[in-house]
Amino acid sequence: MKSACWIVCLSLGLCACAPWPERPDAAQPALQTVQGNRVVELARSELGVPYLYGGETPDGFDCSGLVQYVYAHAGIEVPRTANAQLYASHPVKRQMLRPGDLVFFEIAGNAQMHVGIYIGDGRFIHAPETGGKVSYAQLDNPYWKAHFISGGRFQ
């Protein structure tokens, strides 16, 4: 009887010292939130910068240049063009978007892509077009809603 108790106590003691099993995705949402918030903060700091075709600096941005610049300053490497950003990112459904995710739009059929940075509450920041400036837009705007194709995540 004494040895049975000893075995049970020893077993319980060893179990208590064993490391708690970790869920592999346990830290992921917090990490994504921190990076996503940083991306949004950096994108907001570029509001008002003029659109410049091929632009990738605060002197002027096109849509994918803004994304690449902001993400680089958040420590995340992304490709240069909207098409490459779409194919390199992990697809995200519209209802699953988080701040810092990318939103992709098909403009003029398959000929042209547009990309913005989702900031939450159905809004995104983008470099819209020649004559425009880095600004906010709404995903529910009829134009953007009709042209939305996917979200994308790098974090």
17 catalytic per annotation: no
Rg from Cα positions in the chain: 23
135-138 vs 90-92, strand pairing mode: unpaired
DSSP state of 54: T
Residue 121 contacts by C-beta under 8 Å, 6 or more apart in sequence? none
Among 5, 17, 114, 147, the active-site one is: 114
Among 15, 17, 63, 73, the active-site one is: 63
114 catalytic per annotation: yes
Residue 8 token pair: 């049970």
Among 9, 15, 90, 126, the active-site one is: 126
The C-alpha atoms of residue 1 and residue 94 are separated, in whole angstroms, by 63
147 catalytic per annotation: no
Residues labelled catalytic:
63, 114, 126
